Structure 1
């Protein structure tokens, strides 16, 4: 299927996928919100403590508690989603999570102290954890192969857009000296759940979910709602047969849909790859990007200028995600991801070197390099990761594999948040800009792992990927190896051969 035909045939699937993925705007917003609020004087005065210098600061320990509270809540939400979406479906799980988010935001808005704020972050994090994996698995299942990279990477655009909105809201509120300097940013979070919730009430379920539950008629109804129906060459029955064939093939290769099955046989390698891809996101220096406003203030820039630079940085991030859509069809996921991590390693090394200069120009140079870092990240690692994690796991274990991967991401994020807060805090390690050296080293380790372990799924159907993993093809040979999942050594035939065998002239009069 060509891209043009996919767009004509699946406009409804694109719209529904975009709707559910928009919930990730809230995650990006929440992630950037705290990092930006740490640079807000009113927020520090309300929830921080007086330092010896006469200013108010949130201690590094409470910064870690706030940041890690959300990450811990996300792990809880991820584990809930792994069970709930498999049992009740993506739509019902999303509706329940959005409803809970509306209630949880009240805790943040009315928090009287930093302890209550941590509780609110944990509660909101549980909802965000459900959005993280549900959106990417839904997007990968309701669209054909040709649209898969665009709809899965769109999730990264939502994440960046959420950060951009957070920076803009904080930029407008940072100069206030009353409680609304931080209450307005918290209140803006109510703008997202309700409209998405209303849309999700009418969203179709994934046809793959119906097939996994033995409901072929439900899958057929869902597929009718996902396609335009104006292509005479498209057959809903053939597509359902393909989904059923892939499901049966995976049951033969590795039966089971539990978390334990993610660590058995060929699925162990697939789980490692999916977990590794998302861990790379945390270890390549992105936390410094997320704390850009705070980082730039520590580098010596005025608070208002640091917000201006961070907004420009995120604006380029949005353009970078759009750019990845044009590069992925030509270069593939592996090439873009590996190249991006390698470039980020070099940028972090340069930023670390700038930390030895005390000239005012070097402080602006740090800001410029962080803008370049964000552009490269959102051109490569950021969006491509979502495409990779949706393609590397088997369809029967997709929800649970992606949940495990995102749990690894959040656990590593907790560690990274603790390290970053202590690295940047003037009352702790006070590494300042030179903290970038540490992340340059971790980015180099990530690049080495990707070279040997990350396969190329470009243009492959789920059944082809199943066969490549079953044959234990090297990650570096995924792109060039030819497989035919319909004429291999397993027992399943091509759907056209099945129909031919079932034709009436094959049977006698009995």
Structure 2
């Protein structure tokens, strides 16, 4: 019997009828309960004290009149269109948070493509065979700066947002971002070129820390507030936002490419301050996560926040009751949760799946594709042409990702991940083989391969990975698990972004298209890991996912498992 259904306080007069239970007050100090079978029993004195305490909390009184044995309508796996109509405010808040991810994509392209802008090359570079280039060491360091900062920010955010809340974490990230952009913008002032390069690196690292905080906080918030029917599609907006950011950044870089002096690239740097202002404004507008407030014992505020998110089309109290039930079930297994808890017992498997999902973009080649404008120049393509191709590829990827959101609402994450990573393996083989030759045709073929890969993975592994990140970890460990996943993702990017220029830069390995062979191995590894370890969690509630992990269900049996965990 639900413990909230069989208690009444002396302050409640008359009788209260719930779905299955009638509670009647006795005039004496004892309390009588009429159960389903019509039998009565007295509450013990110890129980009456608990009743008195609980009855003073309006949320507890409200929850006691609802039934947790029925799965609420909002938890059903609704079609995408119907789910959007049923949860308009949740969709609006989650869409607004993708601005954080837009900033991430924008920053990646600014640092990745600004090195292809001629005035920037003149100010920060050096002559190599009568041509201005950025030394490969600094290209590697700058490319690794944002991922390095994001790794630091992800770890910090996993701890910080559990201490101070999702909203204040957003606010803090916005402030740090403004500081980092200032370092980038004013890096041209020192007279010594090495100091200029170092200040630019420091500014990008600080900005990366801010983006790590903002990204992990946004993903935690979205995964906690989005219902089952919207969870995959909303989390799948992360790569969409990333691509939109890259598109905006590419357009800006293209426009400033022919500027005669540093004014052009300074405009590109300064525009990033907008990406610090917007998250700060959002932190004032968006309600705090009900799951965070409930975890902190602030039930009244949690109910108020839940109403702001779900009412009036959905019963906010029922949504919150499901959150309460999940948190209560998890508390026993994750008491005193720390980062170490994420690697204990069944949580180890869940954490490693999140880590694997975070590594998917690095495996299919996102880091190289994001820098394709400069990469294509190293194999013979003109600067303006490479920037146009980058913009075209991002537009194609954005549309593909839009299709991917619909695909995820229909097809499982495991299936689309396996298919898209397998196709990408074949495409990278073709790119690598083409690199054996040199010439304009090879550059265009390589560009076509990169665009094809971003389309394929934009519909598959990329959005699927974020859906997996948002549904795998337990509610109580979600912030910390997202932080660990962020460290894995950015740590891999640090390594890859540092090594890639050493492979393809003219003053280093000069591999050209043969760089694609690196991703043949990484994509094949992604296919193997997904086949053996990636479970199918489409359409599953938080409690169902918890149960399947608790009974140690093999990954390939998740899709077929059936059980009534909710009513139990």
Question: Which TM class, normalised by the smaller chain length?
Answer: over 0.9
Q: Does 1:106 align with 2:182?
A: yes
Task: Name the residue aligned to 2:47.
Answer: none
State the alpha-carbon separation in 2 of the partners of residues 6 and 373 from structure 1.
30
CA contact (8 A) 1:299 1:433 kept: yes
Task: Name the residue aligned to 1:236.
Answer: 316
Task: Name the residue aligned to 1:262.
Answer: 342
Partner-residue secondary structure (3-state), 1:110: helix
The offset of 1:359, in angstroms, is: 4.9
The offset of 1:214, in angstroms, is: 1.4
Choose which of 235, 248, 264 in structure 1 pairs with 2:328. 248
Q: Does 1:441 align with 2:517?
A: no
Q: Counterparts of 1:69-468 in structure 2 under 5 Å?
A: 69-112=145-188, 113-229=196-312, 231=313, 234-468=314-548
Per-residue CA deviations over 1:161-205 (Å, capped at 9, x if unaligned) read: 010111111111111231023212111112222233223212101
CA contact (8 A) 1:283 1:442 kept: yes
State the alpha-carbon separation in 2 of the partners of residues 236 and 173 from structure 1.
49
Task: Name the residue aligned to 1:503.
Answer: none
The offset of 1:406, in angstroms, is: 0.9
Partner-residue secondary structure (3-state), 1:38: helix
Partner-residue secondary structure (3-state), 1:175: coil
Per-residue CA deviations over 1:332-365 (Å, capped at 9, x if unaligned) read: 1111112111111111111011112335333222
The offset of 1:440, in angstroms, is: 0.7
Task: Name the residue aligned to 1:58.
Answer: 134
Task: Name the residue aligned to 1:507.
Answer: none
CA contact (8 A) 1:8 1:228 kept: no
Per-residue CA deviations over 1:280-311 (Å, capped at 9, x if unaligned) read: 22122222211110121112111111111110
Task: Name the residue aligned to 1:490.
Answer: none
State the alpha-carbon separation in 1 of the partners of residues 442 and 206 from structure 2.
40
1:358–1:236 Cα change, 3 Å? closer
Per-residue CA deviations over 1:409-446 (Å, capped at 9, x if unaligned) read: 11111111122111111111111110101211111011
Larger radius of gyration: 2
Partner-residue secondary structure (3-state), 1:23: helix
Structure 2: gaps of 5 or more residues: 1-75, 189-195
Partner-residue secondary structure (3-state), 2:437: coil
Task: Name the residue aligned to 1:33.
Answer: 110
Task: Name the residue aligned to 2:36.
Answer: none
State the alpha-carbon separation in 1 of the partners of residues 204 and 316 from structure 2.
44
The offset of 1:392, in angstroms, is: 0.7
State the alpha-carbon separation in 2 of the partners of residues 280 and 239 from structure 1.
32
Task: Name the residue aligned to 2:98.
Answer: 21
The offset of 1:271, in angstroms, is: 0.6
Per-residue CA deviations over 1:99-118 (Å, capped at 9, x if unaligned) read: 22123211111102111101
State the alpha-carbon separation in 1 of the partners of residues 519 and 226 from structure 2.
36
The offset of 1:91, in angstroms, is: 0.8
CA contact (8 A) 2:337 2:477 kept: yes
The offset of 1:126, in angstroms, is: 0.8
Per-residue CA deviations over 1:70-99 (Å, capped at 9, x if unaligned) read: 222112211221111111111111012112
Per-residue CA deviations over 1:449-502 (Å, capped at 9, x if unaligned) read: 110001111000111000000111111111111132245xxxxx4xxxxxxxxx
Task: Name the residue aligned to 1:504.
Answer: none
Instruction: Indicate the larger mover: 352-361 or 379-388.
Output: 352-361
State the alpha-carbon separation in 1 of the partners of residues 358 and 548 from structure 2.
22
Per-residue CA deviations over 1:122-152 (Å, capped at 9, x if unaligned) read: 1111100112211111111112110111211
State the alpha-carbon separation in 1 of the partners of residues 466 and 260 from structure 2.
40
State the alpha-carbon separation in 2 of the partners of residues 288 and 50 from structure 1.
24
CA contact (8 A) 2:155 2:486 kept: no
The offset of 1:330, in angstroms, is: 1.9
CA contact (8 A) 2:185 2:266 kept: yes
State the alpha-carbon separation in 2 of the partners of residues 486 and 305 from structure 1.
56
CA contact (8 A) 2:375 2:504 kept: yes
1:170–1:449 Cα change, 3 Å? same
Instruction: Indicate the larger mover: 476-485 or 454-463.
Output: 476-485
CA contact (8 A) 2:503 2:509 kept: yes
State the alpha-carbon separation in 2 of the partners of residues 257 and 320 from structure 1.
39
State the alpha-carbon separation in 2 of the partners of residues 332 and 433 from structure 1.
33
The offset of 1:5, in angstroms, is: 4.5
The offset of 1:264, in angstroms, is: 0.2
1:5–1:362 Cα change, 3 Å? closer
Number of residue pairs the alignment of both structures matches: 484
